[in-house]
Structures are given as structure tokens and as C-alpha cells.
Amino acid sequence: MDIYTFYGLLTVLMLILFLGIVAWAYSSKRKPGFDEAAQLPLEENRDNSNHNRREDKDHE
């Protein structure tokens, strides 16, 4: 096996890996988990703003 055959096989392997990751990411089974993860930064900001408002009221 020469180096070019190795590179060709490696390219095919990487393409299959890439397509597998794309299929996994766009799978309908994964959508609820990804949607929940997408909301985490917004929930954290909402929690922090409510916490800061409570602290401001305590100091008055």
C-alpha cells in the first residue's frame, strides 16, 4: 500500500465520520436535548436578573 492509497482511505473514513456526526446532530431524537441546551444561557440570565432585583430590594 503506497501513501496515496492511505490518504485516499483516510479521506473516505473522515467523510464517513463527518456524515455520521451530521446525521447524529440532525436526528429527531436529539432535538429535545438540543432545544433544552439552547435555552440554558437564557435561563441563567433570567435567574441572575431576578436574584439581583431581590438583592436591591433587600438593601432599601
For residues 14 and 30, give the distance between their C-alpha atoms in angstroms, rounded to a whole number: 22
For residues 13 and 57, give the distance between their C-alpha atoms in angstroms, rounded to a whole number: 60
For residues 10 and 8, give the distance between their C-alpha atoms in angstroms, rounded to a whole number: 5
Predicted pLDDT of residue 13: 98
- Domain that residue 27 falls in: 3-59
C-alpha cell at 23: 446525521
Q: What is the pTM of this model?
A: 0.56
What's the structural domain count of the chain?
1
Predicted pLDDT of residue 4: 96
Output the tens digit of pLDDT for each of the chain's 60 residues.
899 999 999 999 999 999 999 999 999 898 899 899 989 888 876 666 666 666 656 565
**30 and 24 in contact (C-beta within 8 Å)?**
yes
